[in-house]
Chain A
Amino acid sequence: MDLLGFARGPALKVALAIFCLGVAWRIVGFALLRLRRDLNEPRASILKYLSGGFVAVGSRSWPHKEFIGRTGPGEALGYSYHIGLFAVVLLFTPHIVFLGGLLGVMWPGLPSSLITVISVVTVTLFLAVLFRRVTNPVMRMLSNFDDYFSWFITALVMATGLAATAHIGARYETLLGLHVLSVDVLLVWFPFGKLMHAFYIFPSRAINGALLARKGAIS
C-alpha cells in the first residue's frame, strides 16, 4: 500500500473514528455534569430569553462599538482566515468530491485559480495570526501547547494542500498522500484541543446570551 492509499484508507478510517468518538465524549463528558436550575425570578419571558440566545449567536460575531477600537483589527484577522479556510475546505472541487462522497451530496465549487489565490491569502493570514500570538503579550501569556499545535497542524494541512495543487517538492501522489495524512492527524487531534471550538462557539454564545436576556441585560 502506498502513502496515499494508506492515508485515505485505514489511516482516515481510524482518524474519523477517533474524531467522532472523541468529539462525542468531549461533549457528553461535561454535559453529564450537574446542571442546576436557576431559581431566581426571571425578568423576561422564556420566549424573550430564548430569542436573546439566538441574537447573541449573531451579535457576538462582531464586537460592540464600545470595544471595536481595541479589538476590531484582531477580530478581523481572526475571521478573515476562518473565512478563507472554509472557502478552501468547502468550495475546492476535489474537496467537494471527497466530502460529497462521504456525505452523499454534491455542491458547486469555485474555480481552481480563485481557490489558489484564496489559499495563498489564507496561509499569509495564518502566519500573521501566529506572529500576533507570539508578539502580543496577552496572547503569548495565555498560549500553551494546544494553541501552537492546533495552529501547526492546521497550517500543515494548508501547506501540503497548496504544495500538492502546485506540484511543488515531490510527486503529486506523494504530496497528496502527505496532505491527506496531515488531515488524518488533524482529525485525531481535533477532540483533544481547541479545535473543538468549532462545536462550542454557537451554543456557548447562545447560552450566555439567553442567561443575560433572562436578567434583561444586554448581551
Chain B
Amino acid sequence: MSDATAGLPEAPQARVSGAMRGFAQEVGALSAFRLESCIHCGICADACHFYIATEDPQYTPIWKIEPFKQAYKREASPFAPLYRLFGLKRAVTADQLEQWQHLLFDSCNMCGRCSLICPMGIDVAALIEQARHAMFDAGLAPKELYQKAACQQATGQPEASREPYREQLKAIGTRFGVEIPLDRPEADVMLCVPRTDIEHYPSSVAALARVMQHLRISCTFRSDGLVAENYGYFAGGKSWQRDISLRLIDAAIACKAKILLVPECGHAYTALRWEAADLYGKPLPFHVRHVTEFLADELEAGRLKLGAAVTGKTTFHDPCQLVRKGGVNDAPRALMKAMGIELDELKNHGGFTFCCGGGGGVLDIERAAPLRYRTMENKLREIDDTGAETFLTSCSDCRRTFDDAQQHFNWNKTPHSLLELVSNNLAGAEKPT
C-alpha cells in the first residue's frame, strides 16, 4: 500500500476495473467528444505551470487522463467492441492507476489553464475532474483529501476543531467588535465561511460581517451549513461533494435566502456556482454569488461607497477558480478602482493567471510540497516583477498558499484580502480597530 492511500482500503484490480467501467459508463456525450477530439499535439503542456516549471513531459495535462482515455476507448467508444476483440486497448491495471495518482492530484490544481490553450477546444480540466471521480471510486484519493472529505461529509467540518466553528464565529465577533449574524430564521443573504478564514484569517470573517452590516443587508451564517469549502470536490468523491453542497443548499432554503454568498474561496465558488445545481438535480431556488461580485453589484447600484485606500503600488492575483473557471474578472477590479487603486497587473492576469499552486487540494497534500514550491517560483517572480508594495487576492486558499511561500522562500510579500481592504475603506464608516 502506498503512503498516499495509507488508512484507506487497498485498490485491488476488481475495484479498479469497476471504477474504470464506471468512468466509461458515466462519461457522457460531452466528455466522450472531448476524449475523441485530442490530436496529441501536446500544446496543453505549454499552459501548465507544472510542466513549465519542470519541463517534465509527464505533467502534460492531457497525459494525466491517459488511463481514462484508454478505459473510454475500451469500454464505451464507438469502436469499443473492436478494441476489446483485437486487444488494442488493454484494461487499466491497479498499478497503472496508482502511478497516475501523482499526476491527477499532486501535480494538477484543476486550474483550467490547459483548457484555454487547446486548439481543439478540449476542456482538459473537466476531464481531469471526472478522472478524479474514478480515482476516488478506485480507492486512490490521497489520504489527506480523503480523510478531510470523509470528515466534512459526516460532520460538516473537514477537521475536528478545538471548539465548534459556530462558537469560534461568536468569538471572532467579540474579538473584532462586530456582530456576527448567526442562525437567524430568515435572511435575504446566507453567508458561509472558509474554515481557512476561521483558523487563519479571522479578520476576514469579521470583514464580511462588517461590510454586510454597513450595507444593512439582511443576512445570516447558519450552523447547519457553515463551511464553504468542499473536500468532496477535491478528493473526487462525487456523492460526498453532493452531500457537502446539500448542507449549504438546505440551510439556504431553510432561511429563505435569495442569495448564497460565497466568501473569498475559489473552489467553493466552482462547487456551488457551477456544479451544485447539477448534483442537487434541479436549479437552485436562490442565486449563488461570490462576495466580490455581490459587492461590485452594490457598488454599481450606488449602495456601496468606498473611500480611497492607501496601498501604494498594488497588484492582484486572480484566483483561477473565480476568473478562468468562473468568469469573475471585472468585479474585483471595479472594487479596487472605486478605492482609487491603479492596478499593476501581473504579466499573466485575468483568465490567463497562473494558479497559486495550492488549488485543487494540492496545498493539503504533504508529499506534493516540493513540487508545489518549484511550480510557485514563476508566480512569485511575476508578482515581484510588478514591483508592487501591496499584493491582494480574493481567495483565502490562495492567500494561505502565498503565506506558506513567504515562509518557505523567505519572500518579502504578504498577500492581503480584497474583502478586508473593502471593509477597511467603507465610506462614512469608522476604520476597524
Check A30 against B37 for contact (C-beta < 8 Å). no
Check B278 against A38 for contact (C-beta < 8 Å). yes
Check A67 against B117 for contact (C-beta < 8 Å). yes
List the B residue with the shortest CB-CB distance to A194.
B39
Out of B33, B40, B278, name the residue touching A36 (CB < 8 Å).
B278
Asked if A78 is at the interface of the complex by the 8 Å CB criterion, the answer is yes
Asked if B108 is at the interface of the complex by the 8 Å CB criterion, the answer is no
In angstroms, Cα B275 to Cα A78, docked, is 36
Interface residues in A, total, Cβ within 8 A: 59
In angstroms, Cα B77 to Cα A215, docked, is 29
Asked if A206 is at the interface of the complex by the 8 Å CB criterion, the answer is yes
Are A144 and B40 also in contact (CB < 8 A) when A39-B282, A219-B116 are? yes
| Mask: chain A, 54-71; 1 = CB below 8 Å from B; 0 = not | 001000110110110011
**Which residues of the other chain, A, contact B284 by a CB distance below 8 angstroms?**
40-41
Asked if B47 is at the interface of the complex by the 8 Å CB criterion, the answer is yes
**Which residues of the other chain, B, contact A13 by a CB distance below 8 angstroms?**
none
For window 90-145 of B, CB contacts with A under 8 Å fall at 115-123
**Which residues of the other chain, B, contact A29 by a CB distance below 8 angstroms?**
77-79
**Which residues of the other chain, A, contact B28 by a CB distance below 8 angstroms?**
33-36
In angstroms, Cα B57 to Cα A71, docked, is 15
Out of A28, A70, A207, name the residue touching B78 (CB < 8 Å).
A28
Asked if B301 is at the interface of the complex by the 8 Å CB criterion, the answer is no
Asked if B371 is at the interface of the complex by the 8 Å CB criterion, the answer is no
Check A200 against B323 for contact (C-beta < 8 Å). no
**Which residues of the other chain, A, contact B275 by a CB distance below 8 angstroms?**
40
**Which residues of the other chain, B, contact A217 by a CB distance below 8 angstroms?**
323-327, 329, 351
Are A33 and B29 also in contact (CB < 8 A) when A138-B57, A217-B326 are? yes
Are A39 and B46 also in contact (CB < 8 A) when A29-B77, A204-B122 are? no
Check B29 against A204 for contact (C-beta < 8 Å). no
Out of B27, B58, B274, name the residue touching A33 (CB < 8 Å).
B27
Check B119 against A75 for contact (C-beta < 8 Å). yes
Check A215 against B327 for contact (C-beta < 8 Å). yes
In angstroms, Cα B57 to Cα A140, docked, is 9
Out of A26, A28, A141, A208, name the residue touching B121 (CB < 8 Å).
A208
Asked if B338 is at the interface of the complex by the 8 Å CB criterion, the answer is no
Check B78 against A30 for contact (C-beta < 8 Å). yes
Out of B43, B78, B274, name the residue touching A75 (CB < 8 Å).
B43
Check B277 against A39 for contact (C-beta < 8 Å). yes
Most chain B CB within a 10 A radius of its CB, from A136, A142, A218: A142
**Which residues of the other chain, A, contact B121 by a CB distance below 8 angstroms?**
56, 60, 201, 204-209, 219
Least distance between A31 CB and chain B CB atoms (Å): 6
Check A138 against B350 for contact (C-beta < 8 Å). no
For window 65-96 of B, CB contacts with A under 8 Å fall at 76-79
Out of B40, B115, B350, name the residue touching A139 (CB < 8 Å).
B40
In angstroms, Cα B278 to Cα A143, docked, is 35
Check B41 against A78 for contact (C-beta < 8 Å). yes
Check A71 against B117 for contact (C-beta < 8 Å). yes
Out of A31, A40, A212, name the residue touching B273 (CB < 8 Å).
A40
**Which residues of the other chain, B, contact A215 by a CB distance below 8 angstroms?**
274, 325-327
**Which residues of the other chain, B, contact A35 by a CB distance below 8 angstroms?**
28-30
23 pairs of residues in contact across A and B, judged by CB atoms under 8 Å? A25-B78, A26-B79, A30-B33, A30-B78, A39-B278, A39-B281, A39-B282, A40-B273, A40-B274, A41-B277, A64-B352, A67-B46, A67-B47, A141-B57, A141-B63, A142-B63, A206-B121, A211-B123, A212-B327, A217-B326, A218-B324, A218-B329, A219-B121
Task: Report which B residues bind A (CB closer than 8 A).
Answer: 27-30, 32-34, 36-37, 39-43, 45-47, 51-52, 55, 57-58, 60, 62-63, 76-79, 115-123, 273-278, 280-284, 287-288, 323-329, 348, 350-352
Give 6 A-B pairs besides A39-B278, A40-B275, A217-B326 with Cβ atoms closer than 8 angstroms. Answer: A25-B78, A75-B43, A139-B40, A197-B120, A200-B33, A201-B37
